[in-house]
Amino acid sequence: MIFADDREPQRIIEMLTSLGLKVVRKRLELADYLIHHQGYVVAVERKSASDYVSSIADGRFFNQIHNLSKSYQLSFLCIIGRPDFSRIKKDAFIGSILSISLKTGQRVIPVQVESDEDFCLVLKSLNRQLEEGRLRTAPRLRKAKVDDSIAMLTAIPGIGEEKARRLLEKLGNIQRVINAPISELMKVDGIGEKQARRIYDFVRGRRIR
What radius of gyration do the chain's Cα atoms show? Answer: 18
Strand 2-5 vs strand 33-37: parallel, antiparallel, or unpaired?
antiparallel
Q: What's the CATH number where 133 sits?
A: 3.40.50.10130
Quick one: 60 and 158 in the same domain?
no
Q: Are 154 and 161 in contact (CB under 8 A)?
A: yes
Choose one of 119, 137, 155: the last residue of a domain: 137
Quick one: 36 and 87 in the same domain?
yes
User: What was the pLDDT predicted at 76?
Assistant: 94
Q: Are 203 and 195 in contact (CB under 8 A)?
A: no
Please state the domain count of the chain. 2
Query: How far apart are the C-alpha atoms of 7 and 72, rounded to whole Å?
Result: 20
CA 41 from chain centre, in angstroms, equals: 8
Q: What's the CATH number where 181 sits?
A: 1.10.150.20
Q: Is residue 26 domain-resident?
A: yes
Q: What is the mean pLDDT of residues 101-117?
A: 89
Quick one: 122 and 92 in the same domain?
yes
Choose one of 137, 171, 192: the last residue of a domain: 137
Quick one: 88 and 162 in the same domain?
no
Choose one of 118, 137, 156: the last residue of a domain: 137
User: What was the pLDDT predicted at 206?
Assistant: 66
CA neighbor of 190 nearest in space, from 170, 173, 205, 204: 170
User: What was the pLDDT predicted at 142?
Assistant: 45
Q: Is residue 33 domain-resident?
A: yes
Quick one: 100 and 179 in the same domain?
no
Q: Is residue 207 domain-resident?
A: no
Quick one: 81 and 15 in the same domain?
yes
CA neighbor of 22 nearest in space, from 109, 110, 128, 113: 128
Summarised one tens digit per residue, pLDDT across range 74-96 is 899 999 999 888 888 888 888 88
Quick one: 20 and 62 in the same domain?
yes
Query: How far apart are the C-alpha atoms of 49 and 52, rounded to whole Å?
Result: 5
Domain limits at 195?
146-202
Q: Are 153 and 169 in contact (CB under 8 A)?
A: no
Percent of residues, the chain, with pLDDT higher than 70: 91
pTM above 0.75, yes or no: no
Summarised one tens digit per residue, pLDDT across range 8-59 is 999 999 999 999 999 999 888 889 999 988 778 889 999 999 999 888 877 7
Find residue 75's DSSP bridge partners. 43, 108
User: What was the pLDDT predicted at 209?
Assistant: 58
Percent of residues, the chain, with pLDDT higher than 90: 36
